[in-house]
Structures are given as structure tokens and as C-alpha cells.
Amino acid sequence: MIGIKNVVAIVCGGGPAPGINSVISGITNEATRHGWDVLGIYDGFSRLARGEKNYVRLEPKNISRIHLTGGCILKMSRFNPTKKESDLRTVVETLTELGVTHLVTIGGDDTAYSSSAVSDYARKMGRTINVVHVPKTIDNDLPLPEGIPTFGFETARAFGTEEVENLMEDARTTNNRWYFTIAMGRTAGHLALGMGRSAGAALTIIPEEFPQEKIPLQQVVDIITGSIVKRYLTGKNYGVAVIAEGVIEKIAPEDFKKLGNVVTDEHGHIRYSELDFGEILKQAVLAEVKKLGIKVSIIDKEIGYELRCTAPIAYDIDYARSLGYSAVQFLMSGDSSALITIQDNKAVPMRFEDIKDPVTGKTKVRKVNIDSIHYKIARGLMMRLEEGDLDDPGLANAYRMTQEEFHKRYAYLFGKGEVPKEKEEKKEEKK
């Protein structure tokens, strides 16, 4: 056992995000300044759950420049110690053997839940390990107050914007080319919207814009096709559509099952992670534009993994170091079991119990506020079918329909009229 009164361990869980090393730097500098020992635990909770004491003692002299770097010096793991009580017990026992009195976890909602569980189980075992969680995710979907990002998001948005801008230029230069970019974000559309808005993409689609629990695949296809047709009529047969991966879970499962090549689990539920959503959209949209006589090539591309370990921009460097500092200050106050945030330039803890969904028991998910000015501006910059377009004879002609047919067919996109049925689609194909 390490014989120092206050020992703080740092555990990093989930996927990487720019700024993790900056948090580690902030923790180390502030904790050691007050005489605390700092242990960096390798590979998240995974080694602790096996009873392995795999750590590095962190001191200012050996981490002086890490705040500038991407990735995570401690490496990371998605291992969840809460699934088995024996794992929780071993984690607590291993931390205790290391002399750990305080724990800082850096991660997303799953890691936040795990840190809370570790603290609770330690108390159950008659031991005290005070914990604080530093929220991290490029998805920006943790339940912080509106306008306050999770660290790493702004860096991911900045570099994702550059990628979208490059694709936009490639599409313009080669002409007759569209890119369908599937952006990470889980069930929220923050990253997709952030990239699309900043780059000025022709179209961005996020799950939050659909109030229905499920929508037909055709609805997404119609939205994208509408953007392609409108740009085509302006002489721009090219563009980039950014689609949040969360849209996948909005699609009615039966629509995917019709494709015949989906992977299901033992309960018959679709494994969305196994779906090539970009390819599915590509083929469906190509079929639509072919009917209209528009010749275009489509390339689908996923964006996300390449953003996670990039070096943080200045905003995230400063933000993440402040979070690390604030986490130590919180623990020094004798407090525990909270997520640390910066609000109005002040450190504000948010209690674990206050950010849990009362139904699921898990951390709430922050969705994009489609009533916000940020979304309204983004929507206004897109070129997509709008309700007023239903009365445009030029568009109706481009779709090879009468005005009445065009209005009836696409009114459902604006909550007016019925969703087109498969039989109706087949009739149109025969025209």
C-alpha cells in the first residue's frame, strides 16, 4: 500500500476525445500542489477488475506537455465493472490496496455510472473512496446545461468541419458528385449539426427533427432527393449531406428487414451497428434520382473515429485543464459523487442522481434543441424541400409530376397528408 494520506487515482473510460490529457494535466498539477499523490490507472477499469495494479505515478515534471497532445496517455477501456458484483468488489479492493482515497473518472455516461457504483460499493464494504466524474464525449450528449459543451466536442466539430469542407470542394471540383457523410453522435445530432452548420453543407439530417418515434426509410430518402433536385435546378449537381448516425434508430425496423441483409440479435432486434447505413441511403437515393433523369455519383463516408484522438484546439485545452483543476478542488472540499462542470466561469457539481433518467436509471441523453437559434440558423442555410416548394410548378415538373401529384406525394414531409405507401411508390415507378 502506498502510505500517503490522500491518493487520487485517474481512470479513463469509453472512447477517446480530444482534451483527455489536458484533464489529466489539470488534475496532476492541482493535486500535487497540495501534497496529494496521483496515480494514473492504465486501461480504464479493466485491469482493476482483474486485481492488477497497473498504474503510473504522475508528477508535474513528467506531464508538462501532455495537455497539447491527442489520445490518452493512460489508454482507455469500455469495460463496465457494474455488470458483475465480483468485478465491483475487486475494483474497490484493488484501489484500496493502492491506498486510493479519491477517484477521478474521465468518460461518458457509462463511466459516470461506473464511478458512482464504485463509490457506493466501497461504502457498502465499509470503505471510503470519494469520486468525481469529468464528462467527456465528442457526441456532446451528456445532460449539461444548454450551451455548455462536453470537452472534446469543439475540437471534433472543428476538424469534422474541415473534412466536410474538403468533401464539398471535391464534390464541386469533380461535379455530378454527392457525398453522404454519416457522422458519429449516437442518438443525438450535435456533432452532425455542428459540422454541417459550420461547413455550410447542403443538407444536414438529425434524429431530433423527427418528432415521431419511428419514420419510414423513404422519408429520409425523400429529404435527400429533394435537396439533390433543388440544387440540380440551380445548376449545382453536387453537394454534401451530413446525416447523424442516430437517424438509423429512427427508421422503422421493418424497412431495414425488407432489404434482406440485416443482422439481428437473439431477440430478433436489428443490430444497427452492423448496418451500412450510408450504402443503404446511397442505393435508395440513386434509384430515386434515376427516375428523374438526373445523373449523379454518390459516395458514402463515415466521419467520427478520425476526430477522437486529434490534438485539442485551444478552447478544449483550456477547458479540459479547468475541469481537471475543478475536479480536485471538489474532492478537496470533502465532497463526492458528482459530475463536474464549468458554468459562468465557476465550477458547478451536478449530482449523479440528478442526471439519471428515472425510467432507465441511466444518465439522461441531451438532444439537440430544434427550437434553438443554432438549429434554426442551420436549417435556414440548407437547401432542402420546404413546405412552400409544394406549390412550385418548376419542382413538380422536375419530379415529372403534375402540381397536384407533387403536392399530394410530398405533403407528408411537413405533417400534412399521408405517408406514401409502398404500392403507390410502385405505381409511380411505372409511369
> What positions carry a catalytic annotation?
139
Look at the alpha carbons of 321, 324, 327, 331 in this order and tell me if their dihedral is positive or negative.
negative
Q: Rounded distance, CA 210 to CA 335, Å? A: 41
Give the relative orientation of helices 20-33 and 314-332 as an angle to the nearest 10 degrees.
40
Question: DSSP assignment of 339-383, as one string?
Answer: EEEEETTEEEEEEGGGSB-TTTSSBP-PPP-TTSHHHHHHHHHS-
Torsional class of 324: left (φ above 0), alpha (ψ -120 to 50), beta (otherwise) = alpha
Burial class (CB in 10 A: 0-12, 13-18, 19+), 153: buried
Write the CB contacts of 418 (distance below 8 Å, at least 6 apart in sequence): 412
- Closest Cα to residue 110, out of 137, 145, 146? 137
Burial class (CB in 10 A: 0-12, 13-18, 19+), 108: buried
